Structure 1
Amino acid sequence: MIDLDHAATTPLAAEALDAMWPWLSQRHANPASDHADGRRARQAVEQARGEVADLMGAAPADLVWTSGATESINLALKGALEFRGVRGAHLVSSRIEHKATLDTLRWLEAQGHRVTWLTPDREGRISADQVRAALRPDTALVSLMWVNNELGVINPIEALAPELRARGILFHVDAAQAAAWLPIDLRQVPVDLLSLSAHKLYGPKGIGALYVCRRPRARLSPQLHGGGQEQGMRSGTLPTHQIVGFGAAARAVAAQRSEGATRVAALRERLWRALSEALAGQLQRNGGGPVAPHILNVSFDGVDGEALRARLPGLAVSSGAACSSATREPSFVLRALGHADALADASLRLSLGRGTTAAEIDAAAAAVADAVRTLRNWAPA
């Protein structure tokens, strides 16, 4: 199986597994316990906090552990508005955010808040001017993803962050797809809240983090109540093994992020060229302008999407975000770009990883092209 679905999840890095194993096999103390083993666990947790913070150019004390990016997003959006105690606040986001953001914002709408939903341009980008035009005197928060999880398009986070800070508007960023590939430095980009997921950067599933700016302080009301862990913002016993795996994965990413991004971007373009040549240009690339190196989204007119995916048993690919696969509907992201349902369904998100090879790219391109040609011959448009 050739894995071209790294945007859904990444394999666990060897460094992460090595770091996790002692905490699964030998050490079991609760990091909140006040004895030698507990303090040892707490030290491991804090070391990992520093490693994840270093990846983002943040201070360790700025990070709150969560169960993943979904919880991180919920805590950021719900917690920020609840702490402020505002009713009917105005929020700004886009129509092509991750489901974790979309569904949380819809829940907030049901509580009486008002959301301006921005529509991306034909390339899938939300411009800084769109955000500026949507702001109102009562705007409390803006939430955007740094990298779109289906298209790889990079949003203008760096341009917007200082402007929103100057206006006193909280800025939440979903960086789940960005952290492994882009040089993020929160000392230079003043966002208030930023969500991370370990399994998108070669760490274990079930652990994530929320960056909470301390200067100026972005205050949150907790969404889980209990023992008051994580500065009172997220109660619950900390899973030491998952946290140290997250830290080790972040350290490994930091050591090779720049070089890896360059190599993977070259492979992505090799894949696009191979598909374009094999299909004589009869395909459409989705997402343009500045894009993350690891995602290529392509539509194939004149074929049935389900039949196409069925003819690729040797490839791990997807038609969109893994979290939306249960609905069996065409990608809402591509439909937001103006694609008809049939074309949106006949699309593949091909996402590469640091272990992807040129041989795998060539084999995948040949398999996809062969499947498309076969289906078009069977049922020509």
Structure 2
Amino acid sequence: MQLPSSNGRPGPGGRGAAGAWGNLQPGDRAWLMGLAARAAPGARVALVGGAVRDALLGAAPLDLDVVVEGQDAGALAAASGLPHLIHPAFGNATVTLPDGRRADLVRARRESYPVPGQNPWPVPGTLADDLARRDFGLNALALEVGPGGPGALLEVPGGLADLEARTLRPLHPRSLHEDASRLVRAARLAARLDLSAHPELRRQVPAALAMAGRTPRLHAELRLLLHEPRPGRAARRLEGWGAGALLPAGALPRLEALDARQDAGLPVPPQIYAAALLSAAPDPAALAGRLGLGEKAAALLARALGDGPASPGSPEGVLRGLLRPRAYPALTGRDVLALGVPPGPAVGAALAHLAARRRSGEVRSPEEERAALAAYLCGADLGP
């Protein structure tokens, strides 16, 4: 397949290869030119995918993905002199840039899916093959780089038009059947960049849902959704596309409530979003395991649902306000001591009594707690 070149043809907003190149950070431009200078004769080096997309949209990309045609990517990474990690199975590499960011160097390849939902089977290919294997038209873009700077801006047919229209169009009729995680990735991109779903994407949604249980990578995409600037917006896109079942029932309003908090200028870390998602699951621990969330989100949820003290702006307080909007500051050990209970086990027993009354709904305010505590202390044996 021949890749059309947009040399002489402007990209979105009148920007072409030169415009995209100008939106890269100076250090990134220097690094890319250095790679091209070290490449073997006849090899091609190209910045690809989301980095080109974002540069054409006027943003400075943070994540760099580079495809190398005609040379082992690991060897080129080693020649760059920067710290790197080579992945021998595919001959790819991850390079640590001087500012600490990581960039991926990938050998151009073709892919096929012997078993839909499972990992694809890669074989070496051309730059055209590499773009054709990608998920959406506006991600199937490449900016060739030479020792002196940018070369041609390349696209899979329709890729630049998709970017102009800000639409997510799957490249293949079975794209979401082969990899259902692409549906979640589409929701993430749509929410972050204000993109619309192409009719072809909507047509493939049922196929993605049918394959979701057989696509392990979907869990990784859901985990990444929680790190989006507004996870609730991404979840709303899934709901609007008829794919809300990919999230636990009841998760959407909780994620959107946290988005609203951010819109009001109050930052919400991903850990709170993760705990809010778990709170809607029938088995939070099982969902945390599938998504690879570790133990922190589940522990935060347990604290928010517990009776321990939580300041209003703390993660526990924010989550408690979301999940238990009628919760109130419970009495503490200091309050119990102030009522004359001697330090020791009697304090713990009094607090346990109050916690049981809260869970049963018998007390609903600090005042009712004080009255219940006074009644408890009248009949309690506080020891010597």
TM-score (norm 1): 0.25
| TM-score, scaled relative to structure 2 | 0.25
Instruction: Specify the structure having the higher radius of gyration (Cα).
Output: 2
Q: Which has the higher helix share?
A: 2
